[in-house]
Amino acid sequence: MELHCEGEPCPKPVLRCKEVLAAHAPQTLTVYVDNDAAKDNVSRFLTSQGMQVAAPERVANGWRITATAQGGTAQAHASAATAACACAAPK
């Protein structure tokens, strides 16, 4: 699955990654960003979600970050993130 976040300031690329993981739990997620802060934050977030993140690759319009799920770990983390958000929501 690909996610294009060019032109989006942080934390929006991270929030979009979180939404994709929660909704789809992809085996592979490739994220395109165009600034260093987003590159670092997206890489750090995907790693924290149990994904294996390859070294970001420089592309014409910024960076390509490729992350791969490690044996269903991304699904478990995405479910936990969704549950945590649901618990924090006001009732």
C-alpha closest to that of 76 among 44, 39, 50, 40 = 50
> Distance between CA 21 and CA 7 in Å, rounded?
21
> Distance between CA 69 and CA 87 in Å, rounded?
25
- Tens of pLDDT along 43-69? 999 999 999 999 999 999 999 999 999
Is-cis flag, bond preceding 11, omega within 30?
yes
Q: Tell me the pTM.
A: 0.77
Asked whether residue 10 carries a pLDDT value surpassing 80, the answer given is: yes
> Distance between CA 38 and CA 1 in Å, rounded?
18
